[in-house]
Structure 1
Amino acid sequence: MAAQRIKGVLSPVVTPFKRDLSPDVSRFIAHCKWLLSQDCGLAVFGTNSEANSMSADERMGLLEAAIAGGVPTDRMMPGTGACSIVEAAKVSAHATRLGVAGVLMLPPFYYKGVPEEGLFRFFSEVVQRVGDDRLRVYLYHIPPVSVIPITHKLVERLMKAYPKQIAGMKDSSDDWPHTKSMIDAFAKDGFDVFSGNEKPLIENIKSGGAGCISATANINPGKIAEVHAKWQTPEGEKLQGWINEVRGVMQGYVMIPALKYCIAHYAGDAPWTPVRPPLVETDEKTGRDMIAKLDKLGFTMPGLKQAMAVAAE
């Protein structure tokens, strides 16, 4: 049986690296567990995980290590997209066998201007090669990065061909009318649409969406999850404004190294800062500027220091 459908708030979990740029397994597991303690699900190997700077074997090995370390699979939606059909199918099959709730799949993004037919064939081939009824695919629409869009027509064709396997999408267009159009078109058929950040979270829920998968859920998971829980209340509306302010601060910096700098700062754990090239760490002057802006908002990361202290032992 497939895992229960995953909804709510998920974080594209940042991947800690050691100085030799190998994955830091203990810190990764500790961060996953901290996010779960804040009522946040795990979209491991998403964009902010530096997944496309990692090999298939690294992703599969890290997923196995997380599960062995006690991270539950029913709150996990690992990214399995790749330009290679072989790699996408291999990583998707591996994650599905391990019992994850679903997989988040980028379109093949290297060749631009490809026809809808080509994209349909790609996703179709991956589904068929995985060949597992438990597979649940969440399509990843992120045109600012991939340039290759997931269109309404493509979703319609894939849902018709694979009604069990095509479960939903993450819309990282940062275009709420587009996200809402996907919800309006497909949510009634069980297609779960996640916004690519928390800014329209309440609107997403009101419209029948599934929640959000947001980079800043790496550092602000509890408050974003609280908005999801209290979306019908004045408190939730007020808190939506505050989490949007935090998001606004973070969008002023290069997101992935900035997130790692925040974790290192609020956890008191300097080894969190390394990123894989071509990314470069946030410098101290920039980092101090960012932290000052967050502190001004009353921002905290409760429980993180204790979680990372265990990982550093």
Structure 2
Amino acid sequence: MNPDIHGLWPALLLPVAADGTLDTPRALSHAKRMLAAGCDGVTLFGTTGEGTAFTVAERKALLETMRGSGIQASQIIVTTTALALGDAIELGRHAARLGVHRQMFMPPFYFNQPREAGVIEAVSQVVRGIGDDQLKLLLYHFPAMSTFGFSHEAIAELVRRHPGQVMGVKDSGGSLDHALALANAFPALSILTGSEQHVAEVMRAGGSGSINGLANVAPRLMARVINNPHNVSTEDSALILSLLALLSIRPNMPFVGVYKQMLAEQIGDAAWLNMRAPLSPLDPSEAQAVCDGYRAIGAPLESI
């Protein structure tokens, strides 16, 4: 495994107040709960964390609070995805000044299906603009969100341009074959899958770990898989699939809302049901279905 970015890094859910403002105390508590449960670190402001819905100032402030609270820089991957490259550069520079060199970047997503040459140049401008020799950048492959998927050729070109700085790929494409191909093609890079059900198999092929949403509600379960991918119990495999099935227990539910519903049910804190517009909470029938399904699984909190 690549020594720079490996292990379990939950794509951290972020709590908001009823008016949509970031709930910093709850966010800090949740991050520390993840670390105490055995996660290697946390990933801030990714898709699961509603990251691009927050302003540059909000994102800076939360990162500063987490660093000031005793969370180590080495325990944070910060996502710098932003509509404007200048904002992404500003976020990356700010993180680097705080010692947070592990960063993740998704190409700007407001132009559908941009040409590969343009995306390569965009990533290069971000790396050059941040200007951090210690930068450890993950390319965020999520074509369903960004309408762009990093090809092997694009990855190789960015590694050639920025050796020692472009360190790997976070693969949220959902395809096991794609993740395995990345692990096989780039053994020197950190390949982290976002598909919980594929973690063990990808790691057995040389992958480095996972950044995923399920870890918000099942950190110990996902840590067990990552710590021993060659010997995952049938019970743990089944439990992962049962929990993931709640994401589609009703059609067309927003996955962030489902995870927040599960977390609110798990820890008894309804404040987690709030979401930042334009996302919205589950409707009552959806929420009831998720809660009923979660209770029916019956997994003890200490095991997940």
Residue identity in the other structure for 1:13: L
- Structure 1 contact 266–300 (Cα < 8 Å) conserved: no
Whole-angstrom distance in 1 between the partners of 2:300 and 2:150: 36
Q: Pick the aligned partner of 2:242 from 242, 245, 259.
A: 245
Report how many aligned residue pairs link the two structures. 298
Note if contact 1:6-1:74 (Cα within 8 Å) is conserved in structure 2: no
TM-score (normalised: structure 2): 0.93
CA displacement at 1:129 relative to structure 2: 0.9
Matched letter for residue 249 of structure 1: L
Deviations 1:292-313 (A, max 9, x none): 2122222344499xxxxxxxxx
> SS of 2:78's equivalent?
coil
Mapping of residues 131-146 of structure 1, within 5 Å: 131-146=131-146
| Cα contact 2:273–2:281 (8 A) shared by 1 | yes
Q: Distance in 2 between matches of 1:232 and 1:110?
A: 40
In 2, distance between residues paired with 1:228 and 1:139? 21
The amino acid across from 1:94 in the alignment is: H
Check if 1:20 corresponds to 2:8. no
Shift of 1:245: 2.0
2:35 is the counterpart of 1:7: no
Contact 2:225–2:232 (CA<8 Å) still a contact in 1?
no
2:110 equivalent to 1:110: yes
Task: Report if aligned partners of 1:6, 1:101 keep a CA contact under 8 Å in 2.
Answer: no
Given that 1:75 and 1:101 are in contact with CA atoms closer than 8 Å, whether structure 2 keeps it comes out as no
Deviation at 1:175, TM superposition (A): 0.6
Deviations 1:117-170 (A, max 9, x none): 111111111111111111111000001111111111110101011111101111
Matched letter for residue 5 of structure 2 = I
Provide the identity percentage.
28
Judge conservation of contact 1:183–1:208 (CA < 8 Å) in 2: yes
User: How far 1:101 moved relative to its partner?
Assistant: 4.8
- Equivalent position amino acid for 1:267 in 2: I
Say if 2:224 is the partner of 1:226: yes
CA contact (8 A) 1:18 1:24 kept: yes
The aligned counterpart of 1:29 is 28
Give me the TM-score of the superposition, normalised by structure 1.
Answer: 0.90
Secondary structure of 2:77's counterpart equals: coil
Question: Are the equivalent residues in 2 in contact too, given 1:199–1:240 (CA < 8 A)?
Answer: yes
Contact 1:35–1:218 (Cα < 8 Å) also in 2: yes
The verdict on how the C-alpha distance between 1:24 and 1:300 changes in structure 2, with shifts beyond 3 A counting, is: farther
Instruction: Provide the rounded CA distance (Å) in 2 between the counterparts of 1:296 and 1:233.
Output: 26
**2:229 alignment partner, SS class:** coil
Which residue of 2 is the match for residue 268 of structure 1?
268
Q: Is the 8 A contact 1:216 1:250 kept in 2?
A: no
Q: Distance in 2 between matches of 1:26 and 1:159?
A: 38
For 1:86, the equivalent position in structure 2 comes to 86
Deviation at 1:113, TM superposition (A): 3.0
Letter in structure 1 aligned against 2:50: E
Q: Secondary structure at the match of 1:47?
A: coil
User: Aligned letter for 2:247?
Assistant: M
Distance in 2 between residues matched to 1:101 and 1:291, nearest whole Å:
38
CA–CA separation in structure 1 for the residues paired with 2:303 and 2:180: 35
Q: Distance in 2 between matches of 1:242 and 1:72?
A: 31
Aligned residue among 200, 209, 215 for 1:217: 215
Contact persistence 2:174–2:195 (CA under 8 A):
yes
Query: What is the alpha-carbon distance in structure 1 between the residues aligned to residue 275 and residue 57 of structure 2?
Result: 19
Cα distance in 2, alignment partners of residues 292 and 39 from structure 1 = 28
User: 1:202-213, aligned counterparts within 5 Å?
Assistant: 202-213=200-211
In the aligned structure 1, how far is the partner of 2:162 from the partner of 2:27? 33
